[in-house]
A and B are shown apart, each in its own frame.
Chain A
Amino acid sequence: LALILCIGSLCTESSTTFLYHDYCIIGAGPSGLQAAYFLQRAGRDYVVFERSHAPGSFFALYPRHRKLISINKQYTGKSNSEFNLRHDWNSLLSHDRRLLFRRYSRDFFPDADTMVRYLEDFASLLKLQVQYNTAIVHVMLEKNEQAWNGHYFLLTDQDKKSYKCSSLLVATGTWVPNVVNFPGSEYVEGYETVSINPEDFAGQTVLILGRGNSAFETAENILGVTNFIHMVSRSRVRLSWATHYVGDLRAINNGLLDTYQLKSLDGLLEGDLEDLAIIKDKKGKLHITLRFYLENRNISAGIDSITLPQDELDNFATRAPYDRVIRCLGWKFDFSIYNRSLRMMPGKGNIRKYPQIKPSYESRGTRGLFVLGTASHSVDFRKSAGGFIHGFRYTTRAVHRLLENRHHGVPWPSTVYPITQLTNSIVKRVNEASGLYQMFSVLADIILLREHPKTHTTATTGAKYPVGVLAELEMQTGRKAPNGLFIIIMEYGRNFSGADKDVFYYNRAVGEAQHAWQSNFLHPVIYYYKRLPTEREMRLRPPDWPLPRPDAIHHIVEDFLTDWTAPNAHILPLRRFLENCLGTDLRNFFAESCFLFAFTRQKLPPFCWQGYMRMQGLVGSEGLRHHAVQAGLLQDYTLTDSSGDRPPHSHNRAQDQLLRDQVISIRPLQHLVNAKDE
């Protein structure tokens, strides 16, 4: 159908100047290239528009001081490529192993130029369709009944050339600097143009507006040569190691906090910038005052007539004049190119720098318009990593998969497992899946149960689905969930993260599986629903919960090494949870046990049914069976040949005793687990 449509549209429009593509991507930054990669692999008709002559133009300029604060971990001690992506914040997803960022830079915090080079390689090595030097200046809609979404997107570039697309992927990022207007804001220099040469600040007193990473990065650069630096912003400083949000102030830039708290002349202040006013005196020094004082004065009367706060309050904090004021207030999305009919609206409150989108990354105003990359961060702002490469590379893939299903009838990729592999598949995912780990609380693996749990259920898993659109799962993925579902997600402890939280308190780490729900650090959580939650349930979910109240929930206890493969602390409680959700016994059995069950029970446990009965019984080596006998979990009938009268009771007792002994030997180890974190 899609093919006919595009031919049809090409035919009808051939007389006009429109160039048609199924997918248009605006912006050849990381998310634009990432989307292009997936479309290319799927063999779709797409084009990327880039206003610059090369990809990643934002990185060509920013960060001004050139040091990226995304980590580039060379070594993890593991060869698992999926796991290693958990600690690689710069690479985009691709099948090409040359395109791993660690092959580009050996720096833990790499240079921004390396990122530009990397993106150039990504576009060229993968032969992505990027049209450079094309700045899209206007986007409008053309109603058409036959179009995928009821309309086409008409794009116009700086040369008035027009393009027509069925689906529009906006990957423009946020690049318009945030500006604040107050009397005297003309004296303020912007981050985007301020000098990065520390020499230019020698012996100066500097006021920095803003309290993000760019503000601290600027301060860090000139810390050693200035008289002092003051920083002012409305909110208190948010440290990323306390909030677990990578967009907050990273420790690499926080030198000024040190000098402030050690009373080395630098300082931080809280205040609303809109209350400010800056007055320049005759010597060119900048004085801070309040807009309130200006409103009742005649400005023309000159500088001397203006009241300064220190006139009334002689210990006013910022009474010292400044040589320079620098604005480091971040960026916002460029809303200007969209026609009103697209209803691209800014979000509300603290996400007003981003366009309004649904949890599926589709614009709230226009069907078929998807926002990718940094601009899509409103979905998980201040929560997860969706505004950063290591997060949006996964959300971009999720959008691609949604589109594949919507327009090409390709259901969400999934694997079918027998129920006996359920525990294994979950353990595998929580230990290596990078998308779950980076996009915690946002992307989830979903396991759909296919048959009635009483019979021999098989499960389908769909990876890295945005949980925000869980209610639309069947429509969005083309997969059905008739018998309930499991959702695997990673979470921090509910009350652990926050700007004012002490994240180093004693006993912050939970070591025992039975207290796993109190885990504070990132750990896997599995939600079980007997049926798919509705949209209403999604809306009414408890605050701070990524999902509505489940029918059962399981936390895998946090782990110091993020290695959740311990048989007793991690896998056993998980198995018990799954067993109780499914109402069945998911233990493994040696062939000998299955043999006994086959002769003595009318029903068999799933493991025997799936394995032994299909001629795939686990015979087990002599040594293993001996261990099982010693553990009291397997009976050795060779010894009891004729003494059938031995009371089975005493045997059980011995078993229990054995088990108890074994537990006792484990306990001290668990203690170690706690101590390690401290």
Chain B
Amino acid sequence: EPSPQRYFSSLEAGRASLAYFSHSGSPGAQPFLEQIESSAEALQDYGISVVKVNCPKEDVSRYCGKENALRKAYLFRGHMLIREFPTDALFDVDSIVASVLFALLFNEVKYIETLTDLQNIEQVLKGKSNMVFAYVPATGTAEHRAVMEAAFVYGTVHQFVLTTEAALLKATGSDDPDVSSAWLLFCHCQKATDPAQPCRRTPLGQPLTLLNIHRHLKLMGAPLVTEVAEDPEKVSTVHLQLGLPLVFILSQKETYEADRRTAEFVAWKLLGKAGVALLARDLVDLNVLHRSNVALKTPDEGMPIQYLVLEDTDEVITLVEDKNKVKQIQEEEEEEEEDEAEKENNNQDIQDDQVVEAVSRDKKRELPLEQILVLTEENFHSSLSSAARTVVLFYASWEAVSLAVLRSYTEVADRLKGTPGVLFSLVNCWDWPGICSQENVTQFPTIRIYKEGKQSVLYDGMWGTEEMSSFIMLSRVSCPLKLATMDEAEGYLRGEFPSELSPYTHTSLLGVFSTATSEARKAFEEAGNILSGHVRMGMYLEDDSMALSQKYSVSPPALLLAQSRAQSVEGITLAKQSTQDLVQMIRHELLDIFPEITVQNLPQYLQLRKPFLILFSAGDISQMENKEEMLKVAKGRAQKTFVASWLNLKKTPVGHGILRTYFATMPSLPVLLWVNLHAGGQVFKFPSEQSITEVNILSWLEKLRAGLETPSSTLSEEDWKPPLPAYDFLQMMDTAMPELPLHNAHPPGNTPAQPLAEIPERDTATQEEPSQDTAAEKVGIPGRDLRGTAPRLAARDKQGKRHSEL
């Protein structure tokens, strides 16, 4: 604490010092003084002295005189004033050290604000020296201090560049910039020669501390690939000393050049994570498999070197990265195990049913029921007869699945509102069990469509808005629909007649009958009853002209199948089929040859119980050549033995889940798979290097059949066990019961009064029940008890003859 004169006279040229001027006893700067005092030691390490100068009262010189000068600290180098700091910028040791070094290292650390600045610096540095680029969210922070301290040491070796601009952070290519944390890149500009390319960068993966920066710079400074010609057990590099693994690429004289390139490639990838050494195995006598090509030495002492046979450089990288991961995972798992042990009993009361949970999360939302009539026991029958078609949803207000369907049902009612002759209604079976049992509703939910209040059709399709709407609309029209004229029949085949149905189905079936063929007609009509709501079926009775059958060159009885999209009509002659066969045939005809598999239609194709040849595509394939090739396969000879299909991942995103289950990593799309869903559950992947053509697919299928391919995956055979245990009340009762006084009804106090010999006389029935009564008598109110007041009577045991009512 010298005086101003003494201070200025003591300043040495080239030495930096931080001075703070104060009048003795001025109290306001006290906290600041504390900070600056504690920073003195840190600054000492950098040869910077910290001085508090005591101004005499009368001093009016430059530093002591002005009031506001006293709120500042001054940095001198020699006699030269370098910077003056407002004291509020020096709030703690970190900020003091950072600010002072920042001022002193003005040339060594470049502060930039724009990307152009950065690029300019990079350009200049190329071929000369490396760059350390740091981003700190604010100056004066601990990270800022760490960067400045590192710059003090390495500032002459590397060019340090600092920014506080978040925009720059984004520009330097980190995908997910977290602007609130600091970030440091090592840019290898010294070896960069191409002026067009930016320098290679290696980010510091750890938090910005002086130690981590030091370690990082040290690793960056180490040679990229160390060439080793001695026993790897004895080798030690910077990496091992810093606790990182060392990867050896085992090299031979013949392949040296390639190995060298591999080693460098790997080294770049692993920079900062592991060291890479090239081991010339010709020069070292190694007792390892000849096939081994990689060795891994870990920094842990006593761990033997692992020799491995790897095929890919990626594997080397994952090997190292997983080593780190394994550690992390192990730690996490340990945590988890603890959690699990803890959870074991608590998890049971957590809802794990997706439907129940979803419905209960939605329960507070009021459902839009304006379009739906709520039926009761009073209005049920009258409402049914009030409309041509009454759709009734039977549900239970406590049952999750039916509540889920109710939500879709409201959407259907809203979508179809105003459709003439259709009334939407619902019955809560919890309120009106009578109606539900009368209508034979045993499952929730159930949808029935009543025709003029009389017979009803049970809805048996998917509980989706689309499917329900389509069913309701299709069942408005009789099935099969009798077509009177040729025009109607033609319009029907084009999907234009009846017009209200056109949006709901793309396939039309037309039965063509001559009047003579009544048996086939009857079967067709019955099939129509069964398929009502699912299929568009029409019927045309021809007169003698046979115009329709001639046009499509079929002879009645026949079935015309029109795909409105394909605009083609296919004719099928009907033999003497039973109704069931006809239904089966129609269902089969409705299936596509090369369908797009969706959540909704998969069950139809699964019912064929055939393996699937399925193409997973990222989007629509209608424009792709894959489709043509696949279609050829689908139409080919082999079609009977499998289902050729495709899946649009955009439309059916859950397909990602399927691929993720089959493959550890997402394969490149499109990917063609053979999935044996019904037998063995094996999944085969069409080789990605081959193009998807009919020839390739067929020859691949041949190989599959011959057993020459290995499956990429096999579907789990696991049973659907209970997800969690139930409460074991039986066991709880067993453990708790011994403590419970089960036989407290037999009071021990009563026994001495009963002569032993009399016990057998009592019959078993009284023994159990009235024992409580005797207990009650014994403890009855003294003085009020008749027997208590006549003691001699008490001795007479008359239990056997007691009046049982009392």
Please give the residue numbers on chain A whose beta carbons come within 8 Å of chain B beta carbons, in ascending order: 78-82, 178, 180, 210-212, 232-236, 267, 269-275, 290, 292, 309, 313, 315-318, 329-330, 347-353, 382, 415-418, 421, 424, 427-428, 431-432, 454, 494-495, 498-500, 513-514, 516-517, 543, 549-550, 552-555, 565, 567-568, 571-573, 575-577, 579-580, 582-593, 595-596, 598-606, 612-621, 623-625, 627-628, 630-631, 633-638, 640-642, 644-645, 649, 659, 662-663
Contact = CB atoms under 8 A, between A and B. Distances in A.
Given A579-B726, A637-B654, A617 B765 contact: no
B442 A624 contact: no
Given A349-B766, A567-B356, A619-B463, A272 B787 contact: yes
Contacts of B784: 267, 269-270, 317
Contact of B358 (A275, A351, A614, A620): A620
Contact of B763 (A349, A631, A642, A645): A349
A431 B397 CA distance: 12
23 contacts: A78-B431, A271-B787, A273-B806, A315-B789, A427-B398, A500-B772, A500-B776, A517-B733, A552-B730, A565-B398, A587-B352, A596-B658, A604-B720, A615-B462, A617-B599, A618-B463, A619-B464, A619-B600, A624-B358, A637-B656, A641-B649, A642-B666, A645-B666
A555 B736 CA distance: 15
Nearest to B332: A649
A365 B621 CA distance: 82
Contact of A585 (B717, B723, B727, B733): B723
B442 to A, nearest CB: 5
A573 B433 CA distance: 25
Interface in B346-402: 348-362, 365, 376-377, 396, 398-401
Contacts of B357: 627-628, 631, 633
A543 B740 CA distance: 13
A495 B793 CA distance: 34
B656 A644 contact: yes
Contacts of A605: 720
Given A592-B599, A644-B665, A663-B350, A270 B465 contact: no
Contact of A554 (B351, B355, B460, B729): B729
Given A79-B377, A565-B398, 16 more contacts: A81-B377, A178-B805, A235-B770, A235-B773, A275-B787, A514-B349, A576-B348, A577-B727, A593-B354, A600-B657, A602-B715, A617-B463, A618-B405, A630-B361, A634-B358, A638-B653
B759 to A, nearest CB: 15
Nearest to B681: A602
B602 to A, nearest CB: 6
Given A81-B433, A576-B724, A614-B603, A599 B765 contact: no
Count chain A CB atoms within 10 A of each CB in B350, B729, B773, B775 and give the residue with the most.
B729
Contact of A596 (B405, B657, B806): B657
Q: How large is the interface on B (under 10, 10 to 19, 20 to 34, 35 or more residues)?
A: 35 or more
B715 A553 contact: no
A441 B396 CA distance: 27
B498 interface: no
Contact of B349 (A421, A513, A598): A513
9 closest A-B pairs by beta carbon, nearest first, are: A619-B464, A349-B765, A271-B786, A644-B666, A234-B806, A565-B398, A579-B722, A637-B653, A633-B354
B793 A290 contact: yes
B716 interface: yes
A292 B793 contact: yes
Contacts of A318: 786
Contacts of B348: 514, 572-573, 576
A621 B726 contact: no
B722 A580 contact: yes
A500 B744 CA distance: 12
Nearest to A577: B726
B623 interface: no
A619 B408 contact: yes
A349 B763 CA distance: 8
Contacts, number: 379
A618 to B, nearest CB: 5
Given A234-B773, A236-B773, A349-B763, A583 B722 contact: yes
B327 interface: no
A579 B348 CA distance: 12
A498 B725 CA distance: 35
A653 to B, nearest CB: 9
Interface stretch (B98-106, B283-291, B796-804): B796-804
A513 B404 CA distance: 25
Interface in B686-736: 715-730, 732-733
A576 B350 CA distance: 11
Interface of B: 332, 345, 348-362, 365, 376-377, 396, 398-401, 404-405, 407-408, 411, 429-434, 442-444, 460-465, 467, 599-600, 602-604, 606, 649, 652-662, 665-666, 675, 677, 681, 715-730, 732-733, 740, 742, 763-766, 768-770, 772-773, 775-777, 780, 783-787, 789-790, 792-793, 796, 798, 801-806
A579 B599 contact: no
Contacts of A598: 602-603, 606, 677
Contact of A432 (B377, B433, B715): B433
A633 B770 contact: no
Given A292-B793, A514-B349, A628 B358 contact: yes
A589 B408 contact: no
Contacts of B658: 596, 599-600
Contacts of B358: 590, 620, 624-625, 627-628, 631, 633-634
Contacts of A543: 742, 768
A79 B374 CA distance: 14
A366 B569 CA distance: 77
Nearest to A582: B722
A600 B362 CA distance: 30
B74 to A, nearest CB: 52
Contacts of A631: 351, 354, 357-358, 361
A428 B355 CA distance: 19
Given A567-B351, A595-B599, A602 B716 contact: yes
Contacts of B786: 232, 269-272, 275, 290, 317-318
A579 B723 contact: yes
Contacts of A513: 349, 727
Contact of B396 (A428, A572, A613, A641): A428
B729 A555 contact: yes
Given A577-B726, A641-B656, A589 B433 contact: no
A584 B460 contact: no
A591 B462 CA distance: 9
B160 to A, nearest CB: 34
Given A270-B776, A417-B442, A627-B357, A617 B727 contact: no
A637 B657 contact: yes
Contacts of A267: 784
B440 to A, nearest CB: 10
Contact of B354 (A421, A514, A589): A589
B467 A590 contact: no
A576 B659 CA distance: 31
Given A235-B806, A576-B348, A644-B656, A583 B721 contact: yes
B723 A621 contact: no
B583 to A, nearest CB: 14
Nearest to A454: B719
A619 B465 contact: yes
Count chain B CB atoms within 10 A of each CB in A428, A605, A634 and give the residue with the most: A428
Contacts of B359: 567, 624, 627
B741 to A, nearest CB: 8
Contact of B790 (A309, A565, A603, A627): A309
Nearest to B350: A659
The CB with the most chain B CB atoms within 10 A, among A272, A549, A552, is that of A272
A649 B351 CA distance: 20
A274 B465 contact: no
Given A498-B772, A576-B348, A630-B361, A591 B806 contact: no
